[in-house]
Structure 1
Amino acid sequence: MTPAISPGRAAETERVASISNCTKRYPGVLALDDVTFEVAAGEVRALLGKNGAGKSTLIRLLTGAELPDSGTVEIAGQALGQTGSARAQAAFASGVRVVYQELSLVPGMSLAENLFLGHWPRQGGVIQSARMEAEAAEAMARLGLDLSPRRLVASLSPAERQLLEIARVLIGKPRLVILDEPTSSLAAAEAERVMAAVTRIAAEGIAVIYVSHRMNEIRRVAHSATVMRDGRVIDTVDVKGADTRLIVRLMLGSESGPAAQLENRVADTTLLEVRDLALAPKLSSVSFRLRQGEVLGIAGLLGSGRTELLQAIMGVRAADRGEIHVDGKPVTGACYRHMVERGFGYTPESRKEEGIVPLLGVDENTLVTDLAAVSRRGVLSASLMAAATRRIVEHLHVKTSRTDTPIGTLSGGNQQKVVIGRWVHARSRVLLLDEPTRGVDVEAKSQIYAIIRQLAAEGRGIVFVSSEIEELPLVCDRVLVLREGRFAGEFTAPDIDQDAVMAACIAGH
């Protein structure tokens, strides 16, 4: 199927980039199967599909990083005919720019230096700092970013760093900007700034390909959406008129059932109680209870203190005041090791930076929380390690061919299952999950929801922090809204309304 230009756009609109009947194979994998795709000047095209659908390969064809086995790629009407690095250079010269999910900024350098990283303007061998700063300020102003070019990147907020990455690709008159999950690490309020920047870029006549799993954002910013599945383009739809269930069905190939069956198995037993917890400047007075079998959601804007709350409970940060009770008994002098010994597990917000060791195997990443359980007389046992890892892999449905496969080669969803699984291996009774579905596709999210519900049904208490309000009703028995240092709203299933939760989050902002 040949995707059409998004509804409402003139037929004569300039076609910036096109892929015609392209097929790409890797050993044992058909990554793209006779794909045809195009995007027009000034159009924002969402690119949707679960992991492995072919999105990354399509992007690599447009950037010239890959050569199709068959078919043609055109940028601004010119076919990319070169091979190797020359092909990527030709795509760049034709105006193709990409901002990947993993940011590439240098924290210790200034904004201007980062924007011109690797191609600083020179005259007579001397860097023209004044020119560089002036052009940097102009690029940032195009996105509504009012910052000093001399400021260090280390001082920027996550949203400002993402905007700086986008500003960098605006230098040099781009025709096509590709944004890969630009808001995956941002909460709703911060994501607004990025979406506003995308609208500004498109208004200048630049074509934008927007890769994201957040349907609410896609409806806000995109004119149309191309859905991929199993290496094929399934359809291109008008996102404003398409039902979410239709889009999910196109992505998955079938109707998507409930993400999790919310059976009320919450017991009266209190596993964790927090009383008047304070941690300046984020938390002023936080109190709540977590019961056995309960999934408790924590909602709030970026900077509301959600991560700090989990870290204070886990002993990663020392609270200024307050009490933590486990099984009805106060915890004194809590530290991370002591909380682990009490049956607590914590998955950090940044999976890639803090949650996994990419070059180590699934087994080592899984078993690190209790190596004694897979040791004989103080020596690690290969057979015990393999058996213990297989139990977790089967229990949480981790897709991996071998237990010693480097975890960095797994998809984001399967990596996250391992991060959760290490605490199942440790027999943890309370799990503190910080953004456990960040950066994973729709199918993996549904699987993680089901895993969380399963673990709760087994008698664990789970605190689920998420910046994606729409997923809270799918997995939580109860949701607390954290605002201005304290809880400012409570919702209980089945009456967890995402609009009401969002309103509670932004009240006063």
Structure 2
Amino acid sequence: MNDISKSFPGVKVLEKVQFNLNAGEVHALMGENGAGKSTLMKILGGIYPKDGGQVSIKGTVTDITSPSKAQSLGIVMIHQELNLIPDLTVMENIFLGREFTYGKTKLINWPKMKQEAGRYLSQLGLTIDPGIIAGELSVGQQQMIEIAKALSMHAEVLVLDEPTAALTDREIEALFQVIEALKKQGVGMVYISHRMEEIFRICDRVTVMRDGHTVGTDRIGETNMDKLVKMMVGREIKDRFPKVDISAGEEKLRVNGLTVKGKLHDISFSVRSGEILGIAGLMGAGRTELAKAIFGVLPVQQGEIRINDKPVTIRKPMDAIAAGIALVTEDRKDEGLLLPLSVRDNISLPNLADVSTNGFMSRKKENALADRLIRQLTIKTPNGEYTVGALSGGNQQKVVIGKWLATRPEVFILDEPTRGVDIGAKKEIYDLMNQLVSNGVAIIMISSELPEVLGMSDRILVMHEGRITGEFMREDATQEDIMHCATGGAKKHVG
């Protein structure tokens, strides 16, 4: 890809970007959210037309005008946002538009579809029934179905955009084995990820983008984490987890005996003013269900929730908001934002009382609130009117955090707050967390990244199959102890 340029109304996204990929290599594409990585790959995938520059496939200049044209050239994309049809089966999703049929009758050959789908699933170490409805699977399993679909297309160029963001450690290992096998088959792979450890483990080269420009390309063996971070953000980030030590104050939230049928069993814990309580565990451990139960999304069979030592009844999210609780959900696309609406509208939604006068919405108040949060969180958007679905993933996440920040919560629940977020934006989210606890807010942080849990938490709870199996003070916790509890090991309480 030579001198690729692209603009959207009011925004220049790419300016003469250079990128090349060899057969049988994994080439990392890195940069902060909004740097232009996904836009560049969408041009390669035929989703966006380029404004300038050339794309060459095997030395031949090619105009990729549609996703079907890209696929005909052997280019397959696995997007950060899942593209499965939830009401279709796994095998129907894998072979959508490429169904196996019986000769001239064109009737679908279901046994053949099931057999072939099962073959691609087994390559990924999956034991999922190809006939199950895709929407019934976890986010991580759905991501693996996307990868199985790409395998079935016999890709020559495979673009993986944050492929491990929703995967368990076991699923990540299976994916890495598939990537190694594809390399041996001569498949070239573009790997977009904010997880530095993965880049250094599986990639051969890395290209860094910043503000729509190519900063440079290096072989992995000739660079290091500090150099990449400086190339990405234009400055050094000295402390990956800038935890501020604050003396915890009074108890803000107490949960006693919380039970959700089939999901949570007798959960009890507390979190204090000025404290970050980390919650660790494997996928399916019940961490997200716990957050949703406290926030009134899931019905609670028994148990008590107390705020500032007073019992509160939470049957729906409005009750939780009124009690001073905010929840940044794990899935920003489906649960955190209304993507067709503007940044301003999304920020206004949980803050209607603050942007209204005598029961009528005030556009002036809406704009003032949106502008303040855009500045405070450095959200990269032309203005508050801009459609939130057109923003990068990291900037969408900032909008989610911003809309809840405006409710002035006393208890802030953050479920995977830095998933799919670049290292610079992560630092900004961590700094914001420090600011909140300095102001007396209690934070519950759910994260699948153990370094993040260990780096930012004052105290850590570990969950397994809907139960708390461990509790550690930050200074006593190790990755080994947390994983021991996360896999159902003996219960531990330290500190």
Q: TM-score, normalised by structure 1?
A: 0.86
Which residue matches 1:54? 36
2:274 to 280, 290, 293: 293
1:483 equivalent in alignment to 2:464: yes
**Shift in Å, 1:201:** 2.7
Out of 421, 430, 450, which is 1:449 matched to? Answer: 430
Are residues 1:119 and 2:107 paired? no
SS in 2 for 1:315: coil
Q: Which runs of 5+ in 1 are unaligned?
A: 1-18
Paired letter, 2:99: W
Q: Supply the distance in 1 between the matched residues of 2:315 and 2:136 (Cα, whole angstroms).
A: 31
Q: Deviations 1:51-86 (Å, cap 9, x if unpaired)?
A: 232322432343345565665433234331x4634x
Q: 1:355 to 1:30 in 2, by over 3 A?
A: closer
Query: What are the within-5 Å matches in structure 2 for residues 30-429 of structure 1?
Result: 31-65=13-47, 71-80=53-62, 82=63, 84-85=65-66, 89-122=68-101, 123-129=103-109, 130-239=111-220, 242-259=223-240, 261-332=242-313, 334-429=315-410
Deviation for aligned residue 1:89: 4.7
Query: 1:369-408 CA distances to partner (integer Å, 9 max, x unpaired)?
Result: 2322222221112222222333333333333343333322
8 Å CA contact retained: 1:178, 1:210: yes
Name 2:447's counterpart in structure 1.
466
Any unmatched runs of 5+ in structure 2? 491-495
Give the secondary-structure state (helix, strand or coil) at the position aligned to 1:39.
coil
Q: For 2:253 and 2:218, how far apart are their aligned partners in 1? A: 47
> 2 CA distance for matches of 1:364 and 1:105?
27
Question: Structure 1 pair 400/42, CA: closer, same or farther in 2 (3 Å)?
Answer: closer
1:3 alignment partner in structure 2? none
- Give the distance between the partners of 2:31 and 2:333, measured in 1 at CA: 21
Change (3 A) 1:106 1:84: closer
**Kept after mapping to 2: 8 A contact 1:294/1:462:** yes
Amino acid at match of 2:420: G
Change (3 A) 1:62 1:281: same
The CA deviation at 1:482 is 1.8
Shift of 1:184: 1.8
Identity %: 39
Deviates more, 1:248-257 or 1:314-323: 314-323
The change in CA–CA distance for 1:133 and 1:263 in structure 2 (over 3 A counts) is closer
CA RMSD of aligned residues (A): 2.8
* TM-score normalised by structure 2 residue count: 0.88
TM-aligned CA deviation for residue 313 of structure 1: 1.5
Q: Structure 1 residues 394, 498: closer, same or farther in 2, change over 3 A?
A: farther
Aligned equivalent of 1:9: none
Contact 2:284 2:465 in 1 (8 A): no
